Chains A and B, each alone.
Chain A
Amino acid sequence: MSQAIEPLRTSAPPGHWLNPLVGGIASLGAKMITALVTVGDFTVFCLRTIGWLFTRLPRRETLLPACYQIGVLSLPVVALTGTFIGMVLVVQSYVQFRQLNLETRLGAVINMSIVRELGPVLAATMLAGRVGSAMAAELGTMRVTEQIDALTSMGANPIYYLVVPRFLGCLLLIPALTIMADFMGVAGAYFYATWLLPIDSHFYLENSRRFVGAFDLFAGVFKSLFFGAALSLIGCHRGFNCDPGAEGVGKAATSAFVYSFVAILLLDLILAILLDAVYYTIWPEAPKIL
């Protein structure tokens, strides 16, 4: 029962020529194990959070502040990002399209990129930076100062009390933020293209109408749900597993953003392929842009 724990042998006898190689393999193995344990732990964390959605919804007094933080306070920054991205796209692509005499098609290309890709991805990225890392820092501080233990000791489940409202807040509000980013992007691009550049407003709009449809808007909003779920779960999980001290909290916040950003782009790729397949299955004769 009480044997002492034998340290794992990770090297050949001292001075052996194989030592560096064995050491390298051992440290690689250790890293793999840590990564695998983290993935497993994260999966359990996600399942527990989602499980709560089906058993007991969060209370209003925990959900509303989370929604305020995630939705209301993120709105200006998301809107601003959307506007600038719309304008930048016009500036970047105008010259090339002009050379081909296709500048009126800009409306289709830009609005399609905004609605399907840039709107959702940028809204999610802004949210990961503004809200995801704040979640990691806040929950990390709560972990370090034993507030999460205090919750548990008082018979309150920390996942139900801290994670579920944040998760649900992100899930409910990221579609709205995405639509806001889309709208501001489309509007920004339209004003730049038709007011500051000599593009005919009628053809710009007509091309947008012909090529950008409800499915594109749906695709963007649908993707944003996955982004919102990923960034909130990653932020909360990083916070829950924060190392002690100020450095630990800082690391949790940074890693929350980095992992969320990678997850957003990875999910974006997978969902883009999936949704394209769905689109051309439903409408095989759908027009291509160029």
Chain B
Amino acid sequence: MNGKRNETKSTLASHLRDSSSPLVRLVGVYVDFGRQRVLRGLNLEVARGETLAIIGESGCGKTVLLKTIIGLVRPSQGQVYFDDRNLALMSERELTRQRVRFGFLFQQAALFDSMTVAQNVAFPLRQHTPKSSEEIREIVLARLAEVGLPEAVLEKKPAELSGGMRKRVGLARALALEPELMLYDEPTTGLDPIMSDVINELIVSTRQRHPVTSIVVTHDMRTAQKVADRVVMLYPVPRLAEDEDQIIFDGPPETIERVMDSRVTQFVRGEARERLMELRQQTAGGQ
């Protein structure tokens, strides 16, 4: 009797912890590649169910941040917690088990060239579930239908698809195991405006269909404003002052246009301004 009550209590406690604690937490994360520092003392929390957009100019460490969150890049210092567990303390096997809870849409979709579309989408299902071929085929068809792709693409190879289709197959593959955390790496880069909007809509509808937490790395302000509850802007480390925080904006997307920081407004409006002068000076200096 007592045991049962304790069990109920602990379930309740874990439920409370689950709903209140952030799903992803980064504490003082540094990432260096050789002598180049890409992330400097980054602190960031992503709440459950939230869609966070990370924006910033090319080379500011957005993609590295995303890869750090799923343990593809190990931080030189600092900790990354997923569901209150430190990734650095997990064994390779444990990390593999946790990765089933992630879905990652890569910048160029990263579909396996040697496999067909059907095999690509089925890959995570075959790896991690004991489902039969028929069940897997049904799930594959359902996922492809969710991203608006017909049955006719099933047997095609990735090389035969357009960029937009590849991204959608990548999305279907990332969603195959119904992950808790979806990570999108520049989902609209290289696509025409209409296909970009299709992808944005898919990100929104995925969230409506599955209870998922999402992190979207982008430099497309339309994507950030359309899909995100919260926007975080990163700034490249070499251009920051010594003790400055690398996150130069953190707030809801509606407020980003009212920020006074010229670095933020410059990015939001897409204006080169003094950067153009800097680049010209660099070129002149180089000569």
Contact = CB atoms under 8 A, between A and B. Distances in A.
Given A145-B110, A146-B106, A146-B107, A155 B70 contact: no
Given A147-B112, A154-B123, A5 B99 contact: no
A234 B179 CA distance: 36
A155 B124 contact: yes
Contact of B127 (A5, A142, A154): A154
A157 interface: yes
A154 B30 CA distance: 25
B110 A147 contact: yes
B72 A5 contact: no
Interface in A149-204: 149-150, 152-157
Nearest to A157: B96
Interface string B112-155: 11000000000110011000000000000000000000000000
Interface string B67-78: 100101000010
A99 interface: no
Given A5-B32, A154-B123, A149 B106 contact: yes
A155 B127 contact: yes
Contact of B104 (A5, A145, A150, A156): A150
5 contacts: A7-B35, A145-B113, A146-B110, A154-B124, A155-B100
A101 interface: no
B119 to A, nearest CB: 9
Contacts of B106: 146, 149-150
B48 interface: no
A2 interface: yes
A234 to B, nearest CB: 22
Given A145-B110, A149-B110, A156 B127 contact: yes
Q: Which 7 interchain pairs have the tightest Cβ spacing? A: A150-B110, A146-B110, A155-B99, A153-B104, A155-B96, A154-B124, A146-B106
- Which applies to chain A's interface (DSSP): helix, strand, loop or mixed? loop
Interface residues of A, number: 17
A2 B41 contact: yes
B226 interface: no
Nearest to B32: A5
A154 B70 CA distance: 10
A282 interface: no
Nearest to A149: B72
Given A142-B112, A146-B108, A146-B110, 17 more contacts: A1-B77, A2-B41, A2-B77, A5-B35, A145-B113, A146-B107, A147-B110, A152-B72, A152-B99, A153-B70, A153-B72, A153-B99, A153-B104, A154-B127, A155-B127, A155-B128, A156-B123
Interface string A1-33: 110010100000000000000000000000000
B277 to A, nearest CB: 27
Interface of A: 1-2, 5, 7, 141-142, 145-147, 149-150, 152-157
A156 B124 CA distance: 8
Nearest to A152: B72
Nearest to B107: A146
B100 A5 contact: no
B96 A2 contact: no
Contacts of A150: 104, 106, 110-112
Contacts of A152: 72, 99
Nearest to B71: A152
Contacts of A141: 113
Nearest to A154: B124
B184 interface: no
A2 B35 contact: no
A150 B115 CA distance: 14
A149 B123 CA distance: 14
Interface string B30-53: 101001010011000000000000
Contacts of A157: 92, 96
Contacts of A5: 32, 35, 37
